[in-house]
Structure 1
Amino acid sequence: MSENQVFWLISAPNLQGADIFDLVNQKTAKENSLSENRKFNTPSLRVGTLNSLITLNDELQKIDTLVEATTKKIAKQLVDLVGTKPGKDKSLSINGATIPQYLQQFVWDDAKYNLKLSLQEIVDKISQSVSKIDDDLKLKSSEYSSLSSSVAAEERKAGGSLQVRSLNGLITQDNIVQTDYLTTAFVAVPITAEKDFLACYETLSDYVLARSAKKVAQDNEFYLYSVFLFKKFYENFKNKIGEKKWVVRDFKVESEKPTQERAKLTEEKKNYRTGLIRWCRLNFPEAFMAWIHLKVVRVFVESVLRFGIPFDFQAILMQPLKREDKKLRDILFEQFKYLGSAHISGKNEADDSEKFYPYVYIPINWEQ
C-alpha cells in the first residue's frame, strides 16, 4: 500500500443479493482508483440494552481521543529516541506487522478482550490499560528528560566559559590561600575588562591584599584571577565584583573529578535511553492494538444504533489516495444516500470529526 497513513473505517448494512464490499470497491477502487479497500473483520459483540448503547456511544469519542493521544506519544518518544522520521521507523510495528498490514489483517483478540464481556467492560479494560501505559510514559519521559538536562549541564560546565565551567583541573593548591583569617576569591573577568579589574580590585572592598591578583587560567572570553583577602570581607568583595558585572566563582575541591561525574551521568543516560526504547517497543503495540479494538467497538455500537437489530452490516477499511477525499466522499454519498435523511450530506464543510454521513464513518489517522 502507499505511504499514506490515513484510513477510513466505514460500515453499511448488507443488501439481499449484493455484497456491499463489492459495490463499494467497484465504484471507489476499480472504476475510479480513489482508494484501496479491504473487508474489515468485526466480531459479534454483546449488544446489551439500547440505553446502555446510547450512553456508551457518548463516551467513546472522548476515550478514543485519549487512547489515540497516548499511542501517538509513545510513537513520538520512540521516534525521538531512535532518530528516525515519523512513519519511517521500523520499530512502529505490531507483532512484526506494519500498521497497514495489522489493519488489513485485523482479528479481534479474544484472549485480551473476551467477547463474553459487555461492551462497557471491554471499553473500561481498554481505557484502564492505556491509562496505566500513559502514566508510565509520563514518569519515564520525565526521568529521561531530567537525566538529559543533568548531562547537558555537566557538558556546559566542561565546555563553557570560565564564568560557568568547572574549575577543577584549572586550580591547584598553589593558587589557594586558606588560613584562619585569609581566603582566596577567584574572579572571572572579561578579557576586555582586564585593565579595569587590575586597576580597581584592591579598593573594591576592605582588606584585599595589595598586588595579590594572579592569573590562573584563560579562555577565548575570560581571564580567571585569584585574589587574596580577609575572610570576613569575602561576601562584600563578591558583591562589589558583581556590581562590575564580573563573577566571583565559589570554588570547592570536589571529591570526584568532573570527567568522572560526566561519564557516570552519560552512561546512566545511555542505559536509561536503551531501557526507554525497549519499553516503547513493548508498549506501542499494546496501545495501538487497544486503540484499534476501541475503533471496532465504535463501529459496532454506531452500526447497531444506526441500522438496528438483528445486526447485519459489513465494515470496510478504506485507505484513500491523497487529495482524493472529496471525490471519494461524493461516490460514497451517492452509494449510501438511501440510508440517510434530509440533514445528512456528503458535502458538509464542518470538521471531519463532526460530519454525519449516511454510512458509519470512523477515522483512523496515523499521520503524525
Structure 2
Amino acid sequence: MSESQVFWLISAPNRPGADIFDIVNTKTAKENSLSENVKFNIPALRVGTLNSLIALNDDLAKVDNFVELTSKKISKQLTDLVGSKPGKEKGLSINGQNIQQYLSKFQWDDAKFNPKSSLQEIVDKIQSTVAKLDEDLRAKLTDYNSLTSSVVAEERKLLGNLQVRSLNELITTENNTQSEYLTTAFIVIPQSMEKEFLATYENLSDELSKFVLMRSAKKIEQDNDYVLYGVCVFRKFYDNFRIKCQERKWVVRDFKTETENKPQERSKLSEDQKNYKTSFIRWCRIQFPESFVAWIHLKALRVFVESVLRFGIPMNFQAILMKPHKKEDRKLRDVLLDQFKYLGSQHISGKGEEDASEKFFPYVYVPIDWDI
C-alpha cells in the first residue's frame, strides 16, 4: 500500500458460493481503481450474550477515541523530540514494520489479547494498558519540560541581558561594599534613563537623601539595552531604596539572595536534560507500538462486535482493509453502496454524502485515520 495514512475497515457477509473480498476488490480496485484492498482477518472471538454485545458496542467508540489520542500523543511527542517526522527516519516501527505494512499484514496477537477471553476482558486490558502509557507519558513530559525550563533559565542567566543574566562574573569585592551598616544595591537601568538615574538616585525621596552615599554610583557593566550600577546605601534603608527604584521601573538585582549555579553545575544540568531527552525518545519508540497495536486490535473488536450485531450468527463475514485513492472517497462510497444495498435500511446514507463519520452504511464501517 502507498503513503496515504487514512484507511477504511469495512465488513460484510460472504455470499453463497462467493468470497465477498473478491467481489469488493474487483469492483473497487480492478475495474475502477478506487482503492487498494487486503483481507483483514479477525479470529472467531467469544460472542457472549446479545445484551453484553450491545452494551459493549456503546462503550467501544469512547475507548477507541482515548486509545487513538494516546497513540497520536506518543507519536507527536517523538516528532517533537527528534525534530522531524518520525516516520521518515523509521521512528514509528511496529514489530519491524511501518504502519501501512502492519495494517496490511494484520494478525491478531493471541499472546497479548487472548481470543478465548471475553470481549469485555480484552477491552478492559487494552484500556488499562493504554491508560498506564498515557499516565507515564504525562509524567515524563512534565519532568522533561521541567529540566528544559531549568536549562533555558540557566542559559538566560549566562547569555541574557543584564536584567536576567548571572551577576557572578560581574560583582567583585571592589564594587560590592558590605559592612554592618552599609550595603551595595545593584540597579539595572535602561540606557535611555541613565542620565535621569545619575541625576536623581541620591534624592529619590526626602527620607532617602540622608541614607544614600553621595556620588557612590559606579557603572559595573553595560549591554545593548541596559546599564548595571552599584549604589552604596545604609543597610537599614535598603528595602526603601529598592521600592523607590521599582517605582521608576529600575530593576534592583538582590545579589545576596541569588542562587546561581556554578559553571560545572550548569554543565551537569544541560547533560541531564540531554540524557533525559535520549531516554524519552527511546521510551516513545518502545511504547508507541504498544499503544498502536492496542488501538488496531480495538478497531478489530469494533468490526467484530458490529458485524455480529448486524449480520448475526453463525459468523460468515469478512473484514476488509481499504486504502482509498486520493480524491476517490465519494466514488468509492457509491460503488460500495451499490454493492451492498441489498443489506440496506431506511437510514442508509444516500450517494454523494461526504462526511462519513456520523453516517450509517449497509456494511460495517470503522475508519482508521492516522493522518496526524
TM-score by length of 1: 0.97
Q: Does residue 48 in structure 1 map to residue 52 in structure 2? A: no
Q: Does residue 20 in structure 1 map to residue 24 in structure 2? A: no
The code of the aligned residue for 2:199 comes to A
Distance 1:248 1:45 in 2: 71
* Alignment counterpart, residue 270 of structure 1, candidates 262, 266, 274: 274
- Report the CA distance shift for 1:4/1:180 in structure 2 as closer, same or farther (over 3 A): same
Is the Cα contact below 8 Å between 1:348 and 1:355 reproduced in 2?
no
The code of the aligned residue for 1:345 comes to S
- Report the CA distance shift for 1:256/1:193 in structure 2 as closer, same or farther (over 3 A): closer
Q: Does residue 358 in structure 1 map to residue 368 in structure 2? A: no
> 98-107 vs 196-205, which deviates more?
196-205
1:70-109 equivalent positions in 2, closer than 5 A? 70-85=70-85, 87-109=87-109
Distance 2:353 2:185 in 1: 71
Is the Cα contact below 8 Å between 1:185 and 1:226 reproduced in 2?
yes
**Structure 2 residue aligned with 1:294:** 298
**Structure 1 residue aligned with 2:218:** 214
The code of the aligned residue for 1:57 comes to N
**Over the residues paired in the alignment, what is the CA RMSD in angstroms?**
1.4
Distance 2:68 2:356 in 1: 16
- Post-superposition Cα deviations, 1:229-270, rounded to whole Å, max 9, x if no partner, equal 100110111111111111111103878654333222211111
**Structure 1 residue aligned with 2:308:** 304
Distance 2:264 2:133 in 1: 35
Is the Cα contact below 8 Å between 1:6 and 1:366 reproduced in 2?
yes
3-state secondary structure, aligned to 1:252: helix
The code of the aligned residue for 1:302 comes to E
**Structure 2 residue aligned with 1:60:** 60
1:187-206 equivalent positions in 2, closer than 5 A? 187-204=187-204, 205=208, 206=210
**Structure 2 residue aligned with 1:146:** 146
- Post-superposition Cα deviations, 1:260-301, rounded to whole Å, max 9, x if no partner, equal 332222111111101111111110000000000101111100
Distance 1:237 1:116 in 2: 78
Distance 2:241 2:267 in 1: 36
Q: CA deviation at 1:194?
A: 1.3
Is the Cα contact below 8 Å between 2:334 and 2:352 reproduced in 1?
no
Q: CA deviation at 1:346?
A: 4.4
* Equivalent residues, number: 368
The code of the aligned residue for 1:251 comes to F
TM-score by length of 2: 0.96
Q: CA deviation at 1:344?
A: 1.0
3-state secondary structure, aligned to 2:110: coil
Gaps of 5+ in 1: none
What fraction of aligned residue pairs are identical, expressed as a percent?
68
> 63-72 vs 214-223, which deviates more?
214-223
- Report the CA distance shift for 1:146/1:210 in structure 2 as closer, same or farther (over 3 A): same
Distance 1:176 1:200 in 2: 21
Distance 1:237 1:253 in 2: 17
**Structure 2 residue aligned with 1:280:** 284
The code of the aligned residue for 1:319 comes to K
- Report the CA distance shift for 1:201/1:97 in structure 2 as closer, same or farther (over 3 A): same
The code of the aligned residue for 1:70 comes to T
3-state secondary structure, aligned to 1:354: coil
**Structure 2 residue aligned with 1:184:** 184
- Report the CA distance shift for 1:129/1:62 in structure 2 as closer, same or farther (over 3 A): same
Distance 1:257 1:151 in 2: 11
**Structure 1 residue aligned with 2:241:** 237
Distance 2:89 2:308 in 1: 37
Distance 1:335 1:349 in 2: 16
Q: CA deviation at 1:345?
A: 2.1
The code of the aligned residue for 1:126 comes to I
